[in-house]
Amino acid sequence: MTFLIDRRSNPKQKSAVNRQRFLRRYRDQIKQSVAENLRGRTITEDGKGEKISIPARDISEPVFRHGPGGKVTHVVPGNEEFTRGDKIPRPPGGGGGGGAGKASNEGEGLDEFVFQINQQEFLDALFDEMELPNLTKRQLSGLEEFKRVKGGFASDGAPSNLSVVRSMRSATARRIALGASKRTALRELEKELAELADNDENRPRRQAIEEQIQDLRERMAKIPFIDDVDIRYHRHINEPIPHSKAVMFCLMDVSGSMDQNTKDLAKRFYILLYLFLSRNYDKTEVVFIRHHTSAKEVDEEEFFNSRETGGTVVSSALELMKTIVEARFPSNEWNIYGAQASDGDNWPDDAARCTGVINELLPLCQYYAYVEITTAGDKPLWQTYSTLRERWPDTFAMEHITGAGDIYPVFHELFRKQNA
């Protein structure tokens, strides 16, 4: 028996299925258009979709159609200028033929196909080929999610779980086993009967053999085709679902050296990170830490909207992160990630302490990304972290951001798939 399982996202809406096929087919063009459109909108506009335009020539597809066939002669009335064999000159102005619409005095252009994508489709294209690096599955304590998987076969169960194939296989094996000796004896008797000549001397023996053959065939016919012991049912067991349990630490400098424009760029980076995590990872927790001379764990609202300010001591945020990791997120159970945004300034006497704390943190982390928002070259914190990139090449990464247009390319580079 054949079962057809419809796994489409919208199996009852034909137009939705066609739309998904269209988005898959022109995935590269849509991703490129989304990246270009992202420069003209703020990251906080996550509740909207986007108008996407791709060249019309890219969506043209070869089609089969019925041709006229044979040799056809067209008679066009009203021709007083051309005769057979004349070459028709190109129309003046360089315009192409066949297109409907008004004339234009502009130069060359490119026909475009414009369509609207919704919020979900926009985020799909925005975060395509991106993932948390080095994510591993950890053993979860108090796991509550299970999935039903096949666990072999059982001799009892619900009728809906009946395995016809396995039951018939068991019945066939039983009939073969119970009738093996009888079939062997039957073949020997039939062979002996064939070798005996049909005469009066052998008639009593032939009659006895025929009776034995008849008895064996009747006994073989009494073997049940299927018996209760043959019935098998599908057995299902609950198997725990392993999850990639991760925590992302977001560290942001809110000191006086961070002007409002720099803080806005940092917020945009973290809003993009927050959208990426909340959309792709259900089992990911986010911890927000703001720091100046002292660090503080805050909620999402305060992290993005608070106007608190002060001096710059980066080690305070790193020490708070280390304390939280040791208290709530043991490294043997959690994938730990860190993302830090700063303008690069730090108290000079804090450099050594900052290096020591982050060297203790990185062995516990799967990945740590530092983003420096500045246009003035390498700042003290960048110089402090430069040695870490050489020592921890697979765990630590750092990038510069100079303007709003750099946020998405830098974000994509930091969290791109390793095999992409």
Judge whether residue 283 has pLDDT over 90: no
Mean pLDDT of 85-109: 59
State the fold for domain 246-414. Answer: Rossmann fold (3.40.50)
User: Hey, is 269 helix, strand or coil?
Assistant: helix
**111/114 Cα distance (integer angstroms):** 10
* Selection from 247, 285, 272 nearest residue 365 by Cα: 247
Encode pLDDT of 295-345 as tens digits.
889 888 888 777 777 778 888 999 999 999 999 988 888 888 888 888 888
Per-residue model confidence (pLDDT) at position 52: 62
Q: What's the confidence (pLDDT) of residue 297?
A: 92
| 130 strand-pairing partners | 416
Amino acid at 383: Q
- Counting DSSP H helices and E strands in the chain, the numbers are 11, 10
Q: How confident is the model at residue 405 (pLDDT cuts 50, 70, 90)?
A: confident
Please check whether residue 196 is in contact with residue 208, taking contact to mean a CB–CB distance below 8 angstroms: no
Q: Which helix (H) or strand (E) holds 186?
A: helix 164-195
Question: How far is Cα 225 from Cα 228, in angstroms, rounded to an integer?
Answer: 11
Q: What is the pLDDT of residue 169?
A: 92
Pairing of strands 335-342, 367-373: parallel
pLDDT at 44: 44
The yes-or-no verdict on residue 9 having pLDDT over 60 is no
As given in the structure block, the two tokens for residue 47 are: 């509740």
Please give the pLDDT value at position 411. Answer: 79
Check residues 87 and 110 and name the one with the higher pLDDT. 87
Q: Helix 380-391 crosses helix 351-361 at what angle (to 10 degrees)?
A: 30
Residue 375 identity (one-letter amino acid): T
143 or 118, which is more confident: 118
Q: What is the mean pLDDT of residues 280-288?
A: 78
Q: How far is CA 135 from CA 93, 145, 201, 342, in A?
A: 60, 20, 89, 25
Position 180 pLDDT exceeds 60: yes
215-253 pLDDT, tens digit each: 988 888 888 888 888 999 998 888 776 666 788 898 988
pLDDT for 320: 93
Please give the structure tokens belonging to residue 413: 């580079």
Asked if 206 and 190 count as a contact pair (C-beta separation under 8 A), the reply is no
Does position 108 have pLDDT exceeding 60, yes or no? no
C-alpha torsion 20→25→29→30, nearest 10: 10
Higher confidence at residue 283 or residue 112?
283
Angle at 200 between CA 194 and CA 206, to 5 degrees: 35
37 contacts 50 by C-beta, under 8 angstroms: yes
Instruction: Check pLDDT > 70 for residue 143.
Output: no
The yes-or-no verdict on residue 47 having pLDDT over 60 is no
User: What was the pLDDT predicted at 282?
Assistant: 67
Q: What contacts 39, CB < 8 A, 6 or more positions away?
A: 404, 405, 408
Residue % of the chain over a pLDDT of 70: 69
C-alpha distance from residue 371 to each of 88, 277, 357, 377 (Å): 63, 17, 18, 13
Question: Per DSSP, which regions of 89-145 are E strands?
Answer: 112-117
What integer pLDDT is reported at residue 101 of this predicted model?
Answer: 47
Q: Is this structure's pTM higher than 0.85?
A: no
Name the residue with tokens 């400098």: 253
Q: Strand, coil or helix: what is 80?
A: coil
Q: Which residues pair with 73 in a beta bridge?
A: none
Tell whether the model's pLDDT for residue 49 goes beyond 90: no
33 pLDDT more than 80: no
Per-residue pLDDT, 335:
83
Cβ neighbour number for residue 179 with a 10 Å cutoff: 16
Specify the higher pLDDT residue, 122 or 299: 299
397 band by pLDDT with thresholds 50, 70 and 90: confident
Place of tokens 């087919």: 25
Is residue 379 a contact partner of residue 255, using CB atoms and an 8 Å limit? no
Residue 420: per-residue pLDDT: 44
What's residue 126's pLDDT?
63
Q: Could you state, in order of their start, the residue ranges of all structural domains in the chain?
A: 13-59+112-126, 159-235, 246-414
Q: Is-contact 304 267, C-beta < 8 A?
A: yes
Torsion of CA 227, 230, 233, 237, to 10 degrees: 140
246 and 336 in contact (C-beta within 8 Å)?
A: yes
Tell whether the model's pLDDT for residue 140 goes beyond 60: no
Region 347-368 average pLDDT = 88
Identify which of 91-95, 279-283, 329-333 has the greatest average pLDDT: 329-333
Q: What is the mean pLDDT of the chain?
A: 76
Residue 142 pLDDT grade (very low, low, confident, very high; cuts 50, 70, 90): very low
